[in-house]
Structure 1
Amino acid sequence: MTKVPPKQEGDPNTTGHSWDGIEEFDNPMPRWWLWCFYLTIIWGVGYTIAYPAWPLVSSATSGLLGYSTRGEVAEEIAAVEVANEGINMRLASVELTEIANDAELNSYATSAGAAVYRTWCTQCHGSGAAGFVGYPNLLDDDWLWGGDIENIHATISHGIRNEDDDDARYSEMPAFGDILEPEEITSVVNYVMDLSGATPLDASQVSAGAEVYLDNCSACHGEEGLGDRDQGAPNLADAIWLYGGDYDTLMETVTYSRYGVMPPWTQRLSEAEIRAVSVYVHQLGGGE
């Protein structure tokens, strides 16, 4: 048992706690420390009364001062919009093809368009605009409906195959699994692989697939497979694929079809914002 040293004359009382024979004196806290502690309590109570603090069922107490970080951000955004009102009006009214000829306007549109793209477009097309399976690469020069500034603007404005905009880009490939025999689908897939420069799974079926293609596919994709932008029919003769150009993926595409949808952005973005992101996408490298 550890021996507790005797209490010296003038020592304050202890708390009664002992650790390895070491006892804790029951000294009072310094007055300045206590007053600081009390002030922090008063300040904390006052803060919860003045500012949003206590969570409720669907919101929080608003505070007597009515302060809101959201409101502060909204005010900052409104101030920026007021500052940019003039150049946004120019951007919304000038001919699309003339934006590139105005250095100031083009620079502003590119910067503003990059911000719009990062906010609304990266989820599908990627932060670098290289796309994903089912979402087009915006860096190449392969466009279903054209890659000039006017066509890009129209596509962003109205979207693709949606039911919210009567002017949406629209094309629909039939599910040939309901039209062709399995062997016909197999042969036309081998033909399309050969057409795009890939190695067919079964080269002996390419000839038969060419006939199936001419009878069923050439009306949209063209006899040489170069596609048709008026119909939104992709070029099958290059090596650029939205869903993939391997045998299994092409079998799925031909059998069941594809039906990608893009929303119309006129319902969410202003005309200036749509033009800005159109300029940004156009200058990424794939714009025509």
Structure 2
Amino acid sequence: MAEKHIDELSGIETTGHEWDGIRELNNPLPRWWLWTFYACILWAIGYAIAYPSIPLLTNATKGLLGYSSRAEFAADLDGAKIAQGGILEKISTSSLEDIVADPQLSQFATAGGAAAFRVNCTPCHGTGATGGRGYPNLNDDDWLWGGDINALYQTIAHGIRDPADGETRISEMPAFTDMLKPDEVRQVAAYVVGLTGTPRDPSMVEPGKQLFADNCVACHGEKAEGKRDLGAPSLADAIWLKVHGEAEIARQIQAPKHGVMPAWQGRLGDVAVKQLTVYIHSLGGGE
């Protein structure tokens, strides 16, 4: 066994490590550090005895104090539900107008509706409710079925073209493939584009206008501003849901796309639908 080396200057034993003639002293740890370390060990042992901490095969030790963070969380959650119960009951029995007029109910419903929107509606309408191609923007004031709070409620509760809901909104544009010739379809598309922009062939606008009057005004109106009772969109506001450009307008005339929005009444319940309605109405696009 190698003989211990003692440093000549300090008289302290070295560890045996040496770098370029410099030896490492084997100084003891400070007393305060050692006592802190020992105290931590004692604290850990006491904690393991008092609280659930040691994992077993199927659960963990219960601890002498019988504390459970899960039980505490469940109790807090139950307390929150009890506190919310009175407000939810008020929302359930109040009209939408009364909810909006009551600052407390309105604030609570808006917060709850925002949470429900993030969970259920963002896949289609986006996190900011700005929509996307085929999915309407809920921040503007362009509404197929009306943007007042009761119209919003009807749409959310019963959906659009939901085959499982007997009160769903239904609006279907017919395919004009058999009613109009290809040239006539292009003429109508040119007229529609001309309402807000410049068509590729301006000479098609006038014949397209007559074709529009003969085939389209029943739903879209004489000024192409749409009819909300039919769910027919305005074609004169440059806001497009499913098409962009003259060629796509022509395809929509020939073979229209029909989207489906699910009915949320049966999925979420009336209280959640009311909260969603209040939240969407608060975005600024409601009437």
TM-score, normalising length from structure 2?
0.75
Match for 2:270: what amino acid? E
Counterpart in the other structure of 2:158: 158
Residue 72 of structure 1, CA deviation: 8.7
Residue 111 of structure 1, CA deviation: 1.3
Measured in 2, the distance between the counterparts of 1:162 and 1:155 equals 11
Counterpart in the other structure of 1:234: 233
**Once the two structures are superposed, what CA deviation does each residue of 1:70-116 show, in whole Å capped at 9, x if it has no partner?**
x9977765543332110011111112112221111111111111111
Measured in 2, the distance between the counterparts of 1:138 and 1:246 equals 22
Q: Per the alignment, do residues 167 and 64 of structure 1 end up closer, same or farther by CA in structure 2, a change over 3 Å counting?
A: farther
Measured in 2, the distance between the counterparts of 1:186 and 1:234 equals 19
Match for 1:161: what amino acid? R
**Once the two structures are superposed, what CA deviation does each residue of 1:25-55 show, in whole Å capped at 9, x if it has no partner?**
xxxxxxxxxxxxxxxxxxxxxxxxx99x99x
Q: What are the equivalent positions in structure 2 for 1:58-207 lying under 5 Å apart?
A: 78-195=78-195, 197-207=196-206
Give the total of aligned pairs: 274
Q: Per the alignment, do residues 204 and 166 of structure 1 end up closer, same or farther by CA in structure 2, a change over 3 Å counting?
A: same
Residue 248 of structure 1, CA deviation: 2.2
Counterpart in the other structure of 1:31: none
- Extract unaligned runs of 5+ from structure 1: 1-49, 55-60
Match for 2:91: what amino acid? L
Contact 2:219/2:226 (8 A) holds in 1: yes
Measured in 1, the distance between the counterparts of 2:159 and 2:255 equals 23
Q: Per the alignment, do residues 153 and 77 of structure 1 end up closer, same or farther by CA in structure 2, a change over 3 Å counting?
A: farther
Q: Per the alignment, do residues 74 and 170 of structure 1 end up closer, same or farther by CA in structure 2, a change over 3 Å counting?
A: farther
Match for 2:190: what amino acid? N
Q: Per the alignment, do residues 240 and 73 of structure 1 end up closer, same or farther by CA in structure 2, a change over 3 Å counting?
A: farther
Q: Per the alignment, do residues 62 and 131 of structure 1 end up closer, same or farther by CA in structure 2, a change over 3 Å counting?
A: farther
- Tell me the C-alpha RMSD between the 2 structures: 3.7
Match for 1:117: what amino acid? F
Q: Per the alignment, do residues 228 and 72 of structure 1 end up closer, same or farther by CA in structure 2, a change over 3 Å counting?
A: farther
- Extract unaligned runs of 5+ from structure 2: 1-51, 63-67
Measured in 2, the distance between the counterparts of 1:78 and 1:270 equals 20
Question: What SS does the corresponding residue of 1:177 show, helix, strand or coil?
Answer: coil
Match for 1:275: what amino acid? K
Q: Per the alignment, do residues 248 and 68 of structure 1 end up closer, same or farther by CA in structure 2, a change over 3 Å counting?
A: farther
Residue 177 of structure 1, CA deviation: 2.3
Residue 63 of structure 1, CA deviation: 7.5
Q: What are the equivalent positions in structure 2 for 1:263-274 lying under 5 Å apart?
A: 263-274=262-273
Contact 1:144/1:234 (8 A) holds in 2: yes
TM-score, normalising length from structure 1?
0.75
Residue 252 of structure 1, CA deviation: 2.2
Measured in 2, the distance between the counterparts of 1:135 and 1:72 equals 43
Measured in 1, the distance between the counterparts of 2:202 and 2:82 equals 64
Counterpart in the other structure of 2:278: 279
Residue 220 of structure 1, CA deviation: 0.6
Measured in 2, the distance between the counterparts of 1:201 and 1:62 equals 73
Percentage of matched positions with identical amino acids: 45
